[in-house]
Amino acid sequence: MYKILLVEDDEKLCDKLAKHLIRWGYEVIKIKNFEKIMDEFIQINPHLVLMDINLPYFDGFYWCYKIREFSKCPILFLSSRDQDMDIIMAMNSGGDDYITKPFSVEVLSAKIAAILRRTYAYTDQQMQTMSIGNAVFNLGDHTLKMNDIKLELTKNESRILHTMLLNKDKIVSRDKIMRALWDDDQFVNDNTLTVNINRLRKKLEELGLKDCIKTKKGEGYMMQ
């Protein structure tokens, strides 16, 4: 079941949307603390975000930028602001689509279904495997394979490798990796990250992929 996160401070609209989307078979979660939206986003790990622009503390553009620092989760803006510049800013901050209030819930449902289909149904088939040199990393079963050698990765090792490969040739901070490791109520501390990085390096070395994860002192790690 796809999880949709509602970042909307209009409780009446929020309840109406939640009721409608639940009928369409989605799990809907409403933001509780508008000052700590990122904390809830990380815990919920939604498949799609419906984002208002006018929010308490920070606007929707700000939170879209924050989400895009480590997630490709699709974001659909819902706003009464209808100026071209608002739409441009929404897209430039990482949004995937924009609907102006008032809107038809049927149109919204159709757009959500299209975005989810485009993001996940297609991606699941195309991005199931990623290459590292001559090795193949399988996201589906968390394995690394080269020729006849097949190694199993833990869930954390798999997420670290996935994050590093998505940011290949770029420095990835420890904070960004730890955020990628947070799953539901699981919290990964700094020491746990170090242990997992070292274990992943050893497994990569078993396939002859030595030193492909570089330590950038004071900055993080880089996959090369």
154 pLDDT higher than 70: yes
Q: For 55, which DSSP code?
A: -
Q: Which residues contact 24 (CB under 8 A, 6 or more apart)?
A: 109, 113
The answer to whether the CB of 154 falls within 8 A of the CB of 162 is no
Beta bridge partners of 49: 5, 75
DSSP state letter for 186: B
Confidence band for 123, pLDDT divided at 50, 70 and 90: low
Report pLDDT digits (tens) over 170-201: 899 888 888 777 654 455 677 888 899 999 99
Q: Is 131 exposed, middle or buried (0-12, 13-18, 19+ CB in 10 A)?
A: exposed
d(CA 213, CA 221): 7
At 71, list the tokens.
């997630």
Q: Do residues 90 and 53 touch, judged by C-beta distance below 8 A?
A: yes
Write out pLDDT tens, residues 19-67.
999 988 889 999 999 999 988 888 888 889 999 999 999 999 999 998 8
pLDDT tens for residues 207-223?
Answer: 888 889 999 988 999 99
Do residues 52 and 25 lie in contact, with contact meaning Cβ atoms separated by under 8 Å? no
Reported as a single tens digit per residue, the pLDDT across 130-148 is 778 778 888 878 888 887 7
- Other CB atoms within 10 A of residue 33 CB: 10
Q: What is the mean pLDDT of the chain?
A: 86
Mean pLDDT on 103-124 = 81
The answer to whether the pTM exceeds 0.75 is no
